[in-house]
Amino acid sequence: MFILFVRLLVEAIASEGRCDTILPHTSTRQDRMSNPLLNTSGLPQFDAIQPQHAKPALEELISAHRQKLATLLDDSDARDFATLITPLEEMGHELSRVWSPISHLQSVLDDPEWREAYNDSLPLMTEHGTELSQNKQLQEAYQAVADRMPTDATASMRMLVEQELRDFRLAGVALPDDAKARYREIAQEMAGLHAKFDQNLQDATDAWHFHATEESQIAGIPESSLKRAQDEAVTEGVEGWWFKLDYPNYHAVMTHADDRSLRESFYQAWSTRASDQGSDPQWDNSENIERILALRHEAAALVGFDNYADYSLATKMAGTVDEVTEFLTELADKSRGAAKKELQQVQTMTDVPLEAWDVAYYLEKLKQQKFAVSDEELRQYFPFSVVKRGMFGLAEKLYGFSVVENPYVSGWHDTVRYFEIRDKAGNVIGSFYTDLFARKGKRGGAWMDECIVRFDLAGKTTAPVGYLVCNFPPPDSDGNSLLTHTDVVTLFHEFGHMLHHLLTRIDYPSIAGINGVPWDAVELPSQFMENFAWCYEVLEKASAHYQTGKALPRDVFDKLDASRHFGEALSMLRQIEFALFDFRLHACYDPAKGGQVLETLSSVRDDVALLTYPDYNRLPHSFSHVFAGGYAAGYYSYKWAEVLAADAFAAFEESGIFDTETAARFRREILEIGGSRDFMEAYIAFRGRKPTLDALLRQSGIGKAA
Ligand SMILES: [Zn+2]
């Protein structure tokens, strides 16, 4: 249900309106003045916003919006774009501006009060979203607008109304009252469960550490990780090396630690987080998972779908459960042979049968032997500041704008920076915050999120603003943060999302930027950008050895490029395993049998995986994408969008990767359109044809589609 709720949070909220009348009463005006969250005239005031502002701000705003909505709906003349849609869009925009810092701060700050404030506020948002999406009168008002659509209405206008009406249908607007009430209860409970899932994962991760006192324990682990662990030990007041269980540490150990038992203990800690096999039962996500699956199924059934996977596809580019299953199966079939070969080669590196904690380690060894290029050698060429400048330079070259830091805007942490994208005339098209280094309590992974969505209606214009968040190694005591090439790819990926959010030309926030874009297409701009991190012409400008200042040498790049494909088929199968697990779990859910989570996982692994996993492995319990994020019955979207991204990038390869005409077409047909067009149509407008699997298979070194 999360997708629906995300859509509700984004679209139904955006479909609320706001009249430009005076505020309801004087005390409210005073609250507004004293509550910095309610000041939506500019950027969020991060230096003033406190957890205790969250709930009162939302309560006040939602209550004011309820009154305005009632006034709007009572006025039966207000049934066109100017009188109904514009005020609704404006109210939604205002609410999302208040909500964004709340949701953002709880994910980047290690602050129990923010977490509590978020948990207290979330039900208000969910309840309000459901209330709107189940408002029959509101749905009828949209229908009236649709019925009176002027002949000169733009495609955006038509699409906006069409999507809203679809979402009303999906939210069960036509249900009898008791079913509607049940639907609302589910929404409420689900939002809490998603948050709890993530918080359990965070707490379980934070609770684990490894303390090394002997050098022999940490042999093979790269200098940069050791330095961090040493700094951490100093903070903890102990001798030696202190490793927390964050992704950079996990990755460093799994890829480099010579001590097999150390790799195994990290693997076990990582793969049992927040589960019945984990260190502390209080963070076990087992019951959350069961409950989430049951509620998703129930909600999907309430609005007339056989299962949650069907429901999820109602808002996707892909059409049916079979289409997705066939897509994943075809990719798996085409990758399996190459993956087997890769695994056989990795096995030649050791006499011991490979276990899950050996593959990354020996793959890296084999890569070094075969291509003589290591993550650590590459890392020396990628100081964060150089990579960032190179990436901005690339975007400037492709799209003709400039990216300029504005040092006068402050964020929520002293490492946060703020950048503006300016057109040739110097106008700000959009801007974004960066928060890029790992720290305790900050949610793991990397993501882009909306701070402000573009709005340009009724003479009021707001440029979009975003958050770019990563978890790179924090600058060491010399001030260096050296990225692996994988980190570089991640940064390009998130920046791709950012451009999608910022370059939109759509005036209505509910279909601007990433809003209203089908989830299986939303990863196109991000994965498309990743391709540039594999081009020498780009990396030459985005690298400089941290000691000598020399750009990445061509021969080192050639080795990196040659190594790119190695392990790709294995990684493709692994992603397909995740995607099939997620999809089957939702498509085959049977209320009589419950989630059958581990059974489904093991049947998918029988079909797809080449390795056997230890019995304690609990992938689902930390699978936030599916149980706390918007990818439920939608994880396949990554592969789906990757096909689009590879095929789109092939257009650049055909015309020269810096070809500004191709870039302008990509910007116009894909990046600017938000959710204002059928996505396949838009893609064809860019590419001149439908996408094919060929480019992705070629890019992964697997060969052409049969
Ligand atoms: Zn992404």
Inform me whether the pLDDT recorded for 204 exceeds 80.
yes
Cα(495) to centroid of ligand 1, in Å? 9
Cα(514) to centroid of ligand 1, in Å? 11
User: What does DSSP say about strands 465-472 and 455-457: parallel, antiparallel, or unpaired?
Assistant: unpaired
pLDDT tens for 110-128 read 789 999 999 999 999 989 9
- pLDDT at position 703: 66
Cα(16) to centroid of ligand 1, in Å? 28
Instruction: Rounding to the nearest 10 degrees, give the CA dihedral for residues 569, 573, 574, 579.
Output: 140
Give the chain's count of helices (H) and strands (E).
29, 9
Distance CA 694, CA 681 (A): 20
Task: State the helix-helix crossing angle for 26-34 and 51-74, rounded to 10 degrees.
Answer: 140
Cα(111) to centroid of ligand 1, in Å? 26
Can you read off the two tokens belonging to residue 686?
């860019």
For residue 1, which of 231, 334, 303, 250 has the smallest C-alpha distance?
303
Cα(494) to centroid of ligand 1, in Å? 6
Give φ, ψ of 145 to 5 degrees. -65, -45
Cα(67) to centroid of ligand 1, in Å? 38
Find out whether 220 and 180 touch, Cβ atoms under 8 Å: no
pLDDT tens for 205-227 read 999 999 999 999 999 999 989 99
Cα(523) to centroid of ligand 1, in Å? 5
**Mean model confidence pLDDT for the chain:** 91
- pLDDT at position 20: 26
- pLDDT at position 692: 85
Within 10 angstroms of residue 353's Cβ, the number of other Cβ atoms is 9
- pLDDT at position 32: 53
pLDDT tens for 409-458 read 999 999 999 999 999 999 999 999 999 999 988 998 899 999 999 999 99
Can you read off the two tokens belonging to residue 112?
């129990």
Distance CA 72, CA 21 (A): 12
How many alpha carbons lie under 13 Å from residue 623 in its C-beta half-sphere?
A: 26
Cα(89) to centroid of ligand 1, in Å? 26
Between residues 183 and 672, which one has the greater pLDDT? 672
Find all residues with CB under 8 Å of 431, minimum gap 6, and list them. 406, 418, 419, 420, 421, 463, 464, 465, 466, 502
Considering the chain, what percentage of its residues have pLDDT values greater than 70?
Answer: 95
Summarize the confidence of residues 692-704 as an average pLDDT: 81
- pLDDT at position 701: 80
pLDDT tier at 403 (50, 70, 90 boundaries)? very high
Within 10 angstroms of residue 284's Cβ, the number of other Cβ atoms is 19
For residue 187, which of 285, 287, 295 has the smallest C-alpha distance?
295
Distance CA 551, CA 549 (A): 7
Question: Which stretch of DSSP H or E encloses residue 421?
Answer: strand 417-422
| pTM score | 0.81
Q: Exactly one of 60, 90, 164, 494 is catalytic; name it.
A: 494
Give φ, ψ of 451 to 5 degrees. -100, -50
Told to judge if 494 belongs to the known catalytic residues of this protein, a careful annotator would answer yes
Cα(297) to centroid of ligand 1, in Å? 26
Summarize the confidence of residues 651-663 as an average pLDDT: 97
Find out whether 146 and 265 touch, Cβ atoms under 8 Å: no
pLDDT tens for 533-582 read 999 999 999 999 999 999 999 999 998 888 888 888 999 999 999 999 99
pLDDT tier at 345 (50, 70, 90 boundaries)? very high
